[in-house]
Chains A and B, each alone.
Chain A
């Protein structure tokens, strides 16, 4: 297996008055392709910060991040977000005036990746795959349950044909049964389609179902 994402000496911190707090301390790690990772850690350990840096939503103070060997800063964070990764958030983060289908199509429109011409059919198929029927896909997302919205968020994340998906507490707002279904979905994506899933979670139940568990503590990542 090859490293899809490589973190090299990542440092990040913030200043509170005269006090400087370091969140990530020369953090280095390699994520292998096709693996379902969960990152665990105590509250305030910097899990979400690390995820946002890896997803190109924030910038590290120092250090390098390589996606398939290419420096994402050189690639450009917009291009990186558009073409290389998908992100699933705890609160789904769907556009409320669009339907499930339109939310999925949104990321397909923005990406520069080569996609089939029949995008609408592909989007329906993806939604069906994550458990959303066509009738529900055509509804405004505000009329769907939390679990359904998170499934649409996952479909949107993979719709632009990316291999790396980040998830920030993806089951944080869901009941146990739905949580299980979402995790199984991630497992399926990883096992059947070779997607790399990096999920931040505080739930041991979720992390037990992942291929690889990593702990963020004292600003560094360690395998569990």
Chain B
């Protein structure tokens, strides 16, 4: 007749007490499962949504705070100088972040529009819609484009995000190497559509200019040779991209050819910087009146500095930690943007629900401890005699406590087991109801907050609140059941503590011989 057998006998032969206690645990279990289930479902929905989003962090200028700073300057000249000298993304810090093991790829890109010379851009598909002026021909007699039709991209590293993610693949030839970047080589990679359109292949060359044919005349007239304003690049690779223009986009009608992913030409950042820098110097030389109050270097620096560095991380769930780890070292008016504001805004109904669910759990747990402690302490008063008997035959006080704990634990297991069935059903129902109410309230009283004026989000996955909420499913997982049983064990342990102190003070002589 060991303590386990005694505990079983007590529970089975005092059915009323056992059932009442089990009902108490059952009710507590239901409330805890409800709270934890709802809270966990909210967290899961957020995690699943996060996983759907690209693991992108953009190191960029915080224009909101920068312009706040500029407008706070009282001296007009100082204000103007500050406004012309916006913060730049420092290369040394870009490299520090690149060394983080969570970084898979990095786009430290500069882009610039070009006019094609002797080759045609890939048609966007809107040419019939936008060419209202038939006199405005896209190419002149020499076959040079009369409008900016190519976007030149220069990346500082060969590990382009699009290549790493697979949205872009090299079909023929190769992508430029670190050596090409270091040596400022005039090489480029073009889309297969552009190559087909113009019968180009690796080893061929193409020529572009940052000036239109008309503008170019002004520069030649100012003594600059035509070769100097043209950029000739050797094609070293042909890429295929999964990106396409969206014909359903409201801007499709007005879209310029250079906005099409097919008309992107990738070259080393150093090559693009060198060329754009030289062109800027020519512009300042030819149009000094445009830059009367600014020195050449300032203009040049602002033209050749990438506006941001975009990092692709190994896991979307690492984004927050990455930002947290590096946010203190970004520099003045620079931020690590993980598109969190939008995400947090979308997750607000889930957060609110999770917050209240957690409060419910804690209230229930505290109450459970109090109620079970009281019930046990009161029951103990009626069991003093039995405890005295056990002490008199040599059962140690510790074993009496163990028996008491075991009785509660067995009842708790039974109560929680039943609750895990009913609780999961209740949690699903209540969770959906609260979520509906919450989203309705948000929509009705909605937030007037607007997104950041200067936010740039083309790299971020755009997820809607409906998509996030569609991930909200309350289910009682084995993990959750484990957590509940762990919590239950904690409650029983604490609830046994006070009665145990009472047992430790018991004197068998006083109980049995008084």
Contacts and interface: CB of A to CB of B under 8 A. Distances in A.
Contact of B1 (A51, A82, A98, A168): A98
Interface string B383-413: 0011011111111100000000000000000
B1 A109 contact: yes
Interface in B1-59: 1-2, 6, 9-10, 13-14
A127 to B, nearest CB: 14
A57 interface: yes
Given A89-B513, A93-B512, A105-B1, A57 B393 contact: no
A107 B393 contact: yes
B509 interface: yes
A66 B508 CA distance: 21
A95 interface: yes
Interface in B464-510: 507-509
B508 A111 contact: no
Nearest to A104: B1
A140 B1 contact: no
B1 A97 contact: no
- Interface magnitude class on chain A: 20 to 34
A19 to B, nearest CB: 21
B513 A52 contact: yes
A175 B10 CA distance: 31
Interface in A87-118: 87, 89, 93-98, 102, 105-111
B9 A89 contact: no
A20 B66 CA distance: 87
A57 B1 contact: no
A78 B396 CA distance: 7
Given A93-B388, A95-B386, A110 B9 contact: no
Most buried by B among A82, A83, A106: A106
A213 interface: no
A98 B509 contact: no
A97 B512 contact: no
B389 A168 contact: no
Nearest to B396: A78
A114 to B, nearest CB: 16
A57 B13 contact: no
A52 B511 CA distance: 11
Contact of B394 (A81, A97, A98, A140): A81
A93 B1 contact: no
Nearest to B399: A110
B512 A110 contact: no
A94 B512 CA distance: 11
Contacts of A160: 393
Contacts of B393: 81-82, 86-87, 106-107, 110, 156, 160
A191 interface: no
A32 interface: no
Contacts of A97: 9-10, 13-14, 386
Contact of A98 (B2, B6, B512, B513): B6
B402 to A, nearest CB: 13
Given A86-B393, A89-B513, 15 more contacts: A52-B509, A57-B513, A93-B392, A94-B389, A95-B386, A97-B9, A97-B14, A98-B1, A102-B9, A106-B6, A106-B390, A108-B1, A109-B1, A140-B13, A156-B393
Interface of B: 1-2, 6, 9-10, 13-14, 385-386, 388-396, 507-509, 512-513
